[in-house]
Chain A
């Protein structure tokens, strides 16, 4: 059973370009979460999605960021018109349910975005 797969592992974008980060959850997992890790700031929650639905996007910046988890295919975190401050490691996690007391979430290896 493959783990959570994120790609690309490393992504370099020039300021103003778009970044697309992909996350394929573990088989059987329908709940996906995106987190951002900035140096010395720890992991920050961005968005929680269940197939075709955004459940909680309270951690998403209001502009330029969007996320989707279509019925078929991976979850996508999209960052438009990237700026240097978007440089970070972006992690995706998946779980079979949304109840953290009774379930384990598995994290992917992350995508390291560098904006030059």
Chain B
């Protein structure tokens, strides 16, 4: 059983389209992070959200933490081919510092 369910697992869109990736759980998380991973590389942190209802923006990327701190979403506006990659959400439960629980990831492909 996956504690953090990410959807969709695969997404192929055209340049300029908008998309949303979801990360859902029945458990409460102290904080939640979003990473992006390129093939053959390690994950790179995009954002950390801590407060329920929090919204953070990073250029064309908007991250939201659910009010109950059980879910999160990543929205990309006007996707570009450079956005192609694996997007991972990861959460920390009950202040268990160090133990990040990862979702399965969303493989995004943006075609020119």
Smallest Cβ-Cβ distance to A6: which chain B residue: B42
State whether the Cβ of A33 lies closer than 8 Å to any Cβ in chain B: yes
Asked if A100 and B30 make an inter-chain contact with CB atoms under 8 angstroms apart, the answer reads: yes
The A36-78 residues at the B interface (CB cut-off 8 A) are 40-45, 48, 55-56, 58-59
Asked if B45 and A104 make an inter-chain contact with CB atoms under 8 angstroms apart, the answer reads: yes
* CA gap between A31 and B44 in the complex, in Å: 17
Asked if A105 and B45 make an inter-chain contact with CB atoms under 8 angstroms apart, the answer reads: yes
Asked if A31 and B102 make an inter-chain contact with CB atoms under 8 angstroms apart, the answer reads: no
Q: How large is the interface on A (under 10, 10 to 19, 20 to 34, 35 or more residues)?
A: 20 to 34
Asked if A100 and B100 make an inter-chain contact with CB atoms under 8 angstroms apart, the answer reads: yes
The B1-40 residues at the A interface (CB cut-off 8 A) are 2, 30-31, 33, 35, 40
Count the A-B residue pairs with Cβ separation under 8 angstroms: how many? 71
State whether the Cβ of B104 lies closer than 8 Å to any Cβ in chain A: yes
Contacting residues, chain A, for B95 (C-beta < 8 A): 99, 101
* CA gap between A99 and B102 in the complex, in Å: 17
Smallest Cβ-Cβ distance to B43: which chain A residue: A107
Asked if B98 and A100 make an inter-chain contact with CB atoms under 8 angstroms apart, the answer reads: yes
Smallest Cβ-Cβ distance to A92: which chain B residue: B42
Asked if A33 and B43 make an inter-chain contact with CB atoms under 8 angstroms apart, the answer reads: no
State whether the Cβ of B59 lies closer than 8 Å to any Cβ in chain A: no
Contact of A4 among B2, B42, B88, B103 (CB under 8 A): B42
